[in-house]
Amino acid sequence: MSTVKLTVNGKSVSATVEDRTLLVHLLRENLNLTGTHVGCDTSQCGACIVHIDGKAVKSCTTLVGQIDGANVTTIEGIAKGDQLHPMQAAFRDNHGLQCGYCTPGMIMSAIDIVNRHAGDLDEETVRHELEGNICRCTGYHNIVKSVLDAAGRMKVAQAAE
Amino acid sequence: MGVEGIGARVARKEDKRFITGRGRYVDDVKIVGLTHAHFIRSPHAHAKVKGIDASAAKDMPGVVDVLTAQQLVDDKIGNLICGWAVSSKDGTPMKMGAWPAMAPDTVRFVGQAVAVVIAETKNQAKDAAEAVVVTYEELPAVSSMTAALASGAPQLHPEAPGNVVYDWAIGDEKLTNDAFSKAANVVSLDLTNNRLVPNAMEPRAAVAEYDDAEEHFTLHTTSQNPHVARLVLSAFYNIAQEHKLRVIAPDVGGGFGSKIFIYPEEMVALWASKKVRRPVKWTGDRTEAFLTDAHGRDHISHAEMAFDANNRILGLRVKTHANFGAYMSLFSSSVPTYLYATLLSGQYNIPTIYAEVMGVYTNTTPVDAYRGAGRPEASYLVERLMETSARQLKVDPAELRRINFVTQFPHQTPVIMAYDIGDFGASLDAALKAIDYAGFPARKAKAKAAGKLRGLGFSCYIEACGIAPSKAVGSLGAGVGLWESAEVRVNPVGTIEVLTGSHSHGQGHETTFAQLVADRLGISVDQVQIVHGDTDKVQFGMGTYGSRSAAVGMSAIFKAMEKVEAKAKKIAAHLLEASEGDIVIENGEFKVAGTDKAIALPMVALAAYTAHNLPDGMEPGLKEGAFYDPTNFTFPAGAYICEVEIDPGTGKTDIVDFVAVDDFGRLINPMIVEGQVHGGLAQGIGQAMLESAIYDDNGQPVTASFMDYAMPRADDVPSFRVSHTTTLCPGNPLGVKGCGEAGAIGSSPAVINAITDALGHNKIEMPATPGRVWEALQLQQAAE
Ligand code: FES
Ligand code: FES
C-alpha cells in the first residue's frame, strides 16, 4: 500500500491504495469520476486519457504511485462552471460524438494536441495525432472537424485572455 | 419545418452529459454491497472439462464464492437459444448444439466460461481465479470451415453430424440453371467475406441485484433491447420471472448488433446475484470482448452471373458457406439466410436467382448479426460481381449497372423482397458527378507519372431495413414480432415525455424523436423528454438494430401523437367553443382556423388533468400509446464511389476520395444521418483494408487485442463526401427508410473494386493490407 497526494480537478486528494492501483481505477472507483473510461487492456484506445500536469496521458497505464504530487485534470474538470471548454462545445456543435464512450478521451487528447501545436493544425496532423484514440461510431470525420473547429476557438479565447 | 422540427440540424440534446463526463454507463453503476465477478475461461478451442478444483480459491482474501457450470445445471438454468428457426432445403430443422452459459463437460471455443469467481473487489476476483485449477482433456479442434467439413473432421455437437447447421436454399434452381444455359456470357467469382470483431468501445457489462423480500431482480446491462433481454431471460433461461425482473440498459457505448444478444456472462451475473445474495457486477475487458462478443460476417462464396448478348443479367447462382462458430447465437440462423440471400438481387433486374447457404460449426467464437448483418455480405458479392463483369465484358461499370437497374416500382425480386421505391439512377448520377468521373483517366495518368497506381471502384448497394413486418418474419421462422411501441405522455404543464421501445446507443434518439414531436406541435425540443431503456418505465419494445428506429420506432410515436392530438383537439374545441374540425395546431397552440381564437398546449393539458371542464364522457388525462407494425421492409439504397492510390513500392493504399450518395427517404436530422453514414463507411473501409479475426489451425485466436486486430484509426480513413437523393418511403407515415447500416453495407465493395482497378487484376481478398497489395503487385509482375 502507498499513500499519494494529488490535485484532481483543482481539489487536493489523498489516497492510500494498493501499489498496483492504476490512475483510472482511482478516478472511477474511489473518486467517482466515471467520465474517464476503460476501452481496452493494451493501452491502445485512449478512452482513459486525462491530463497529468497539463499533458495527455493514458490513465489505464499510469500507476497512482508513479504520480505523487501531480495535478490531474479529467473530463469533469475542464468546463468553467456552466461554460463548456471550447473543445467540448466544438464536439457538440460538429456532432463529434455518437455513443459518447470514446468522447472524454478524445476531448482530453484533442485539447493537448491543440496546445502542443499552438492552434496551427491541419487535417493530416489531427488525424495523425489522434492515432491513439479509437472510435467505433463516428468514422472520425466529425471528430476531426470538431478538433479543427476548437483549435480556432481556443486561439480566439487565448487572444482574448 | 420549424427550426427544431423534421429536417433541422438540431445539436444533440444528449451530448451535454457525454462531453462533460456525466454519461451513465453500466460500469458506472454502484450499489451498496456490490461484489465483482471474474470468469474462468477455457484456454483450449475444444476440450473435455475433467474437473474444477476451487478449494484454494475459496479461501483467498475477499472471495465470496466460486460458482461452477455444474451448479447452473443443478439449478436447471436453461441453455442459450437461437430465436429464428431455419430449415434445410430437405425440410429438416437446423441442428442446434446445446449451449450452456458455462460449460459443464465440453468447451468448444477459446474463452468459453467454465466457472466464475465472485469477490469483494475486481482484483481479488482476478487473483482468486488464478488459483482455480481446471483440468482439461484436449480434443482436436477445427478452426476453418474447410477443416470442419472435411471427412473425418472432429465433430463439435452430437446434434449436428458433419458440423453442418443447415443446408438451406432460396430461389428456383431449375429456372436459374436454364438461364445460365442460354447465357451469352457467364462471369464467376470466388469471394471471402472476412470475420470481424464488433468492438463497440464500451465492453459488455452487467450489474445484477436480487431483492430477497420481493423475489425481484434488477439487471443493468449493455443491451440494445432490454425488453427482449427480459423476455429471453425469463421465458427460456429460468432465472427470473418476467414480472420479477427489471432490465435497465442505460447509456450504452455502441452496439452495432453485438449487444442484441443475451450472453452467458449477463445470465450468470443475474443467477449469481441470487446465489450469493449480493449484487454482482461483471465488466468485460477488451480481451473478453474479442473472445466472447458475437463476431460478424465470415462467409466463403462462389458466385456466377449470366448475361445475354446485350449485357442484361439473366440469372445469378450463389453458393455460400457461413461460419457459425461453436454455437448458434440468438439470431445467427437468420443472418446468412433471410438477411443475406434475400438481398442478392441488389439494385438490379435479375429474372432468376438460386442461392444455397451451408451453415458450419467451427471451434471459434459464435457469429451473429453485426453492423449490417448479412446485407454487407450480399452487397459485397453482388457489387464485386458487377464490377468484375463490367471488366470482363468490357463495358463501363457505371453503364453495366445502369442498364440493369430496377426502374419500375414496386419490384418483386426472385428472393422474397418487394422493393417499394427508389431511384437508383439518380444516386449513381449524383455520385459520378461528385467524383468527376470524366476526369478520372487524367487523374490516373497523373498518378502514373508520379509512380502511383490509381483506381476507382463503384458500389450500388441496397439493403432491407425497417425490420420488420411481424407476420412476414414470423412466416420465415422468427420467434418474435418486430413491431415497435411508443407512449406519449403530456404532463399537466404541457411538457411531454415519450416512452419508446427503441434504444439509443449512439443514434441520437433523444434528439430526433423529440424533433418529431416538436415538429407536430410547434414546440421546442427542450420541452420533450425521451425515455427509453428501462423495462419498468417502457411497457414493451423490440429495441434498436437493423436501422429500424426511425422507420418503426418513430412511426409508433407518430401513431401515438396522432391519438394525443385528436384528444387535445377535442378538448381545445370544447374550451374554445369551436368545432373540432376547425382546430389547427401551430406554434404550440390550438387555434380555430381563420380566427385569432387560440389556446396554448399547457392550458389544454391542464384542462385534461383538472377534468373540471371536459367534453361529456371524456376520460381525464392526456396520454396515448401505440404499437406500430410495419407493412414491408424499407429499402435504403445508394451509390458509393471510392478512388484509391497505391504506392507500388510499399503496397500502401490511400483512399484519395470517397463519395457516398444515399437515398434514405426523408431525413429527420441530416447532421445525425451524415454521422451515421461516416461511421458505417469507416467500418466498411476497415473491413476492406484492415480488419480480420484470425484463428490458427488449433482454434487459437491470434487477433484478440487492439495490438493484433487492426481497428480503423483516424489516419486510416479520409474525410468523406456524403450527400443524398430522396424518394420518400411509401410504407410508413414519415417516409423514412433508415440510415444506420448503409455505410457499412455499401462501402467495402467500392474500396476493393477501386483497389482491383488500380492493380489491374482481381486476385486480392479483404482485408487488402499493404502486405497483400504488395504481394498482388508482385504476382502481376511475375505474370508479365
Ligand atoms: S483504456 Fe487506456 S488506452 Fe484503452
Ligand atoms: S462515439 Fe462511440 S466510440 Fe466514439
pLDDT digits (tens, 9 = 90+) for B59-105: 999 999 999 999 999 999 999 999 999 999 999 999 999 999 999 99
Interface subset of B 529-558, CB within 8 angstroms of A = none
* For residues B346-357, average pLDDT: 98
B750, B457 Cβ separation under 8 angstroms: yes
Q: Is A45 in the pocket of ligand 1 (CB under 6 A)?
A: yes
| Chain B residues with CB-CB distance to A145 below 8 A | 719
Residue A47 Cβ contacting ligand 2 at under 6 Å? no
Which of chain B's residues have a Cβ under 8 Å away from the Cβ of A126? 714
A127: chain B residues, CB-CB within 8 Å: 714-715
Residues 3-42 of chain A whose Cβ lies under 8 A from any Cβ of chain B:
18, 20, 28, 32-42
Dist CA B244 CA B242 (whole Å): 5
Interchain pair B682, A140: CB under 8 A: yes
pLDDT at B649 exceeding the cut of 70: yes
Map residue A4 onto helix, strand or coil. Answer: strand
Nearest residue, CB atoms, A141 vs list B201, B256, B719: B719
**Percent above pLDDT 90 for chain B:** 94
Q: Evaluate the CA torsion angle B247, B252, B258, B263 in order and state its sign.
A: negative
| Residues B247-257: b if buried by 16+ CB within 10 A, e if exposed | bbbbbbbbbbb
List pLDDT tens digits, range A88-147.
999 999 999 999 999 999 999 999 999 999 878 999 999 999 999 999 999 999 999 999
Residue B481 predicted with pLDDT over 90: no
Q: Is the minimum CB–CB distance between B372 and chain A shorter than 8 Å? A: no
Atom 1 of ligand 1, nearest CA residue = A38
SS3 B462: strand
Could you give the 3-state DSSP secondary structure of residue B638? Answer: strand
- Cβ A63 under 6 angstroms from ligand 2: no
Distance B645 CA to ligand 2 centre (A): 29
Find where cell 414491408 sits.
Answer: B632
Which residues between 271 and 290 in chain B have a beta carbon less than 8 angstroms from any beta carbon of chain A?
285-287
Summary mean pLDDT of chain A? 96
List A residues 119-158 in contact with B (Cβ-Cβ < 8 A). Answer: 123-124, 126-128, 130-131, 133-145
Confidence of residue B709 (pLDDT cuts 50, 70, 90): very high
What is the average pLDDT score of chain B?
96
CA B695, B701, B707 angle in degrees (round to 5)?
115
Which atom of ligand 2 is nearest to A99's Cα?
2
pLDDT in tens, B143-175: 999 999 999 999 999 999 999 999 999 999 999
Tell which of B19, B507, B681 to mutate to test the A interface (max A CBs under 10 Å).
B19
What is the chain B residue with the closest CA to A21?
B123
* Whole-angstrom distance, CA of residue B641 vs CA of residue B645: 14
The amino acid present at A2, given as its one-letter code, is S
pLDDT one-digit tens code per residue, B278-302: 999 999 999 999 999 999 999 999 9
Interface of B with A in 181-210 (CB under 8 A): 198-203
ipTM: 0.98
Q: Is the pLDDT of residue B744 over 80?
A: yes
CB of A101 shorter than 6 A to ligand 2: yes
| Cα three-residue angle B690-B693-B694, rounded to 5 degrees | 110
Do residue A99 and residue B12 have CB atoms under 8 angstroms apart? no
Q: How far is the CA of A99 from the centre of ligand 2 (A)?
A: 5
User: From CA B254, how far away is CA B651, in angstroms rounded?
Assistant: 33
Subunit contact A41:B286, Cβ cutoff 8 A: yes
Q: Which residues in B lie closer than 8 A to residue A91 (C-beta atoms)?
A: 15, 19
Look-up of cell digits 423480500:
B213
Report helix, strand or coil for B426: helix
Question: Is 80 exceeded by the pLDDT of residue A161?
Answer: no
The reply to whether residue B15 touches residue A33, judged by beta carbons under 8 angstroms, is no
Cβ–ligand 2 contact at B23 (below 6 Å): no
- Cα A24 to middle of ligand 1, angstroms: 9
- B117 strand-pairing partners: B38, B66
Using DSSP's 3-state secondary structure scheme, residue B148 falls into: helix
Q: Hey, what domains does chain A have and what are their CATH numbers?
A: 2-77 (3.10.20.30), 86-160 (1.10.150.120)
Check whether B1 has a pLDDT greater than 60.
Answer: no
Taken in order of first residue, the domains within chain B and their CATH numbers are 15-20+483-628 (3.30.365.10), 31-86+95-138+203-253+259-292 (3.90.1170.50), 140-193+297-406 (3.30.365.10), 420-462+636-784 (3.30.365.10)
Of B654, B669, B668, B12, the C-alpha closest to A146 is B12
CA of A48 from ligand 1 middle (Å) equals 5
- Position A158 pLDDT exceeds 90: no
